[in-house]
Amino acid sequence: MTHFKKTNKKLEKLRGIFFQVGLIVAGGLTLVAFEWTSPIYLADLPTPDVAVEEPWELPPIFPEKEEVEKPKVKHEAKPKLNPEKFEIVPDDKKVEIEKKEKKKEEPKFNPGDWKEVEKVDPNENKKFKIVEKMPEFKGSLNKYLSENISYPTKAKRMGSEGKVYIQFLVNKKGEIKDVTILRGVNKWLDEEALRVVKAMPNWNPGKQRGKPVNVIYNLPINFQLKG
């Protein structure tokens, strides 16, 4: 009895190991069963009822070419030659064709017809503000202004006074041109100042390097009422 008891105790100790081995073997057999495949032969497969046709390509389709009408060339009808109007020339006779050549006339050089080119003065049309000799009024400018200015009546009534600054051009001939107002007082005094300056006689022109030139001149005209 003691012998069987000892054997049972040993088996009890190995029970866990046997259980694990059994699990491993069972799992391995399960995997083998799932992975097991039987070979299939094509000859054993059933043939389908529908026939499969091979793929085919559509033939290329080209657009129809439109016929382009060729342009019609108009041929001018040549005049018909009348054989009766031909003149038969014998072989011994030579037909001379006169060629008229126009002779080109060569230009004739005549020293008397040629004139020297006039030298252009660079100061011809230039307007100066300051020159070596400024333009001068012939006589007394103050006397001319005092004798020729008439105080406007409306300006007197309003008591208007002040200086009107006039600008004008004294050209090479001493003439007064391009009269303008730089700074005015009012309508009546400005108009009177313009009138007097435009009516001035010719001045002595300004000079640059001994030659008369155009000079811009500024002139203040003082309007003052006498008390």
Q: Which amino acid is at 126?
A: K
CATH of domain 127-223: 3.30.2420.10
CA-based nearest residue to 153, from 190, 188, 185 = 188
Q: What tokens were used for 187?
A: 């309508």
Do 169 and 214 form a contact (C-beta atoms < 8 A)? yes
- Which value, to the nearest 10 degrees, does the dihedral of the CA atoms of residues 179, 160, 150, 202 take? -20
**Which amino acid makes up residue 88?**
I
**pLDDT tens column, 12-23:** 777 777 788 888
Task: Tell me the per-residue pLDDT of 1-13, one tens digit each, with 9 for 90 and over.
Answer: 555 556 666 667 7
Number of H helices, E strands in the chain: 5, 6
What's the distance, Cα to Cα, between the start and end of the chain in Å? 171
* pTM score over 0.75: no
Of the candidates 129, 149, 153, the residue with the CA atom closest to the CA atom of residue 221: 149
**Domain residue extents for the chain:** 127-223
Q: Reply yes or no on whether the pLDDT at 208 is more than 50.
A: yes
